[in-house]
Structure formats: C-alpha cells, structure tokens
Amino acid sequence: MSIPFWCVFISAVLIFVARIPVSRAMKEQGGYDNHLPRNQQAQLTGLGARAVAAHQNSFEAFLLFSVGVLMAHTTQTAGFLIDALAIIFVVARVIYLLLYWYDLAWQRTLVWSVGLVVSLLLMLSPAFRQLLA
C-alpha cells in the first residue's frame, strides 16, 4: 500500500481518536447516554465540547484529503511530493487535535489551514503531473 493510502487510513483512525475525550466527558456527566448520545454531547462544555467539534471537523477534513489522494492516484500522479503532502496532512491533523483539545484557537486555525492547503494541492496535483514526475 502506498504512503498516501496509509495516510488516508491513519486519517480515518484519527476521526475516532478525536472522539476519545468525548466519551470520557460523557461518562463524567453521569454516564454515557447510549439512547440519546448526541443530545448529551450537545450539553458538553470545555474539553468535551471541543472534542466533539474536533471529531466533527475530522470528518470534514477527511473527505477533502481522501478525495485529493484519490485524484492523485487515479491520474497516476505520484512521487515524493504527493507522499510528502499526505504525511504533512496527517501530522497537521494530529497537531490540530491536540491544539483543539488544549484550546489553542489561533494555532489550531493555522494548522487547520495547512491541512486544507495540502488537500487542495493534492486535488490540483493532476494538473501539474508533468512537473511532479
């Protein structure tokens, strides 16, 4: 499996890693409400609420990134730059989660922007395939 595909896998796992503090916060609220977990999540504050937001954002970021990787792959755009972009995305998302959990807002936005730019560059990579080869 290629490096970008491994990065897609890791990014998928990160969606659920982002949720770990959510479960803890819900348990601290008197137990996990498995009947209406989204209602309970909407009542969370602090770290729990930030973790819910990070979890939701992880789905959004994953969509753009995975499409970018698939666009590069299906057009046979490969090479060091594509691998590096995929790795940068994963590193940015790990840092993003930590920054969100620790409530470092402007730093989080900066790192989020890195992930967005990487995803867009992966989507545009087929247009520059000749330069990347």
Of the candidates 10, 9, 2, which has an alpha carbon nearest to the alpha carbon of residue 91?
A: 10
How far apart CA 69 and CA 83 sit, in angstroms, is 10
* Digit-coded pLDDT (tens) for 8-24: 999 999 999 999 998 88
Could you read off the pLDDT of 20-60 as tens digits, one per residue?
998 888 888 877 777 888 888 888 899 998 999 999 999 99
The pTM for the full model equals: 0.91
- Rg over alpha carbons for the chain, rounded to the nearest Å, is 17
Could you give the CA distance from residue 77 to residue 130 in angstroms, rounded to a whole number? 9
Instruction: Sketch out the chain's domains with CATH numbers.
Output: 3-132 (1.20.120.550)
Q: Which residues contact 60 (CB under 8 A, 6 or more apart)?
A: none
Positive or negative: CA dihedral 48, 53, 57, 59? positive
